[in-house]
Structure 1
Amino acid sequence: MFEDELKDIYWAEKKLTKALPKMAKNASSEKLIEALNSHLSETEEHVLRLEQIFEILGKKAKGKKCDAMAGLVEEGSGILEETEIGVVRDAGIIAACQKIEHYEIATYGTMRQFAETLGMKEVVTILEQTLEEEKTADKNLTIIAVDAINVGAAKED
């Protein structure tokens, strides 16, 4: 089960490295663009960490399509198609990204617990670092939404 989850999140993170630039390109808030670009760098690091875990396990880094991430990214693309550039689109991008973050938080939390149960101390440390970064990304998106985006979007819609 741990290996299946690892393959799943590996595919998901790689998919996200393609989706985040598209979201950043379609955002209008400088703070949101900065947060998306920053998280892209983190996501690229997450891919490398997952490859490190595969190596620790003596396995080839290989993804397995993650239907959840595919659906979440597709939903985010739909928001871009259905909205015009501005605060409403930015609010939609934040909502889509937070759904993705919550999926990642759940996955990394589960994997971390599996690794702990299996006695994989080095893997636990790696997963814990990524889990904390995902939680921080989610908090940062909330701050951006609350400080500026949501109020402006509510006035427009």
Structure 2
Amino acid sequence: MALNSLHDVYHDQLQDLYSSCKQSKPITSDLAEAATNSELKEALEAGVEGLETGMNDIAELCKRHDIDPDGEFCKGTEGLVKEARAHGIDADFGDNDTRDAMIASQYQRLAHYAIAGYGTLLAFAKRIGATDDVATLQKCLDSAYDGDRRMTEIATGGLNRAAAA
């Protein structure tokens, strides 16, 4: 697809973020499985649910704009997923607290990518007059921020302290 207008860029980025969510969901599930801290595990499981909701919401927006949600593959997320697997799942850790701290950091990298994507799409939707999309994108952005804030609270509330001990 030629990117000749902000509408075209918006459609491209909807597809890219759909791909990002699709790739992030399995690794987030794997991170949840590897986590030993119950609060971290619950937050990651909620993250999986949030990714599923985000995928459904973006798929609906793509349908509204008559584009295939699977029309792009997000290489940025591909790299983040490889990093999360290498550093949060496959790495050797001396203890579970250290692994949990790493898992939280890897999840937050994925969340920050989603925040950037949703924020950009929201700005584009407002600019091109896609007013029917704005509330959905705002909801997705708020959800991504909420997941990131929750992870920060878990990490700073004791997870990192336990890993440093």
TM-score, length of structure 2 as denominator length: 0.90
Matched ranges for 1:106-117 at <5 A: 106-117=116-127
Q: Decide which of 59, 65, 73 is 1:65's aligned counterpart.
A: 73
* Runs of 5+ consecutive residues of structure 1 not aligned to the other structure: none
For residues 11 and 60 of structure 1, what CA distance do their matches in structure 2 show?
A: 11
For residues 22 and 136 of structure 1, what CA distance do their matches in structure 2 show?
A: 21
1:147: Cα distance to partner? Answer: 1.0
For residues 60 and 99 of structure 1, what CA distance do their matches in structure 2 show?
A: 27
Q: Decide which of 10, 20, 25 is 1:12's aligned counterpart.
A: 20
Moved more, 33-42 or 83-92: 83-92
1:63: Cα distance to partner? Answer: 3.9
For residues 83 and 147 of structure 1, what CA distance do their matches in structure 2 show?
A: 24
Does structure 1 residue 147 correspond to structure 2 residue 161?
no
Does structure 1 residue 43 correspond to structure 2 residue 63?
no
The CA deviation string for residues 17-36 of structure 1, in whole angstroms up to 9 with x for no partner, is: 21111101110100000000
Contact map agreement 1:10 1:63 (CA 8 A) in 2 = no
The CA deviation string for residues 3-59 of structure 1, in whole angstroms up to 9 with x for no partner, is: 111111111101112111110111010000000001111110111000110111122
1:61: Cα distance to partner? Answer: 2.4
Question: Which stretches of structure 1, 4 residues or more, deviate above 3 A after TM superposition?
Answer: none
For residues 4 and 103 of structure 1, what CA distance do their matches in structure 2 show?
A: 16
The CA deviation string for residues 73-113 of structure 1, in whole angstroms up to 9 with x for no partner, is: 11111112113361111110111111111111111101100
What percent of counterpart residues are identical?
28
Moved more, 23-32 or 73-82: 73-82
Does structure 1 residue 99 correspond to structure 2 residue 109?
yes
CA RMSD of aligned residues (A): 1.1
- For these two proteins, the number of residue pairs brought into alignment is 155
Counterpart residue identity of residue 36, structure 1: L
Moved more, 11-20 or 135-144: 11-20
Counterpart residue identity of residue 55, structure 1: K
Tell me which residue corresponds to 2:40: 32
* Runs of 5+ consecutive residues of structure 2 not aligned to the other structure: 1-8
TM-score, length of structure 1 as denominator length: 0.95
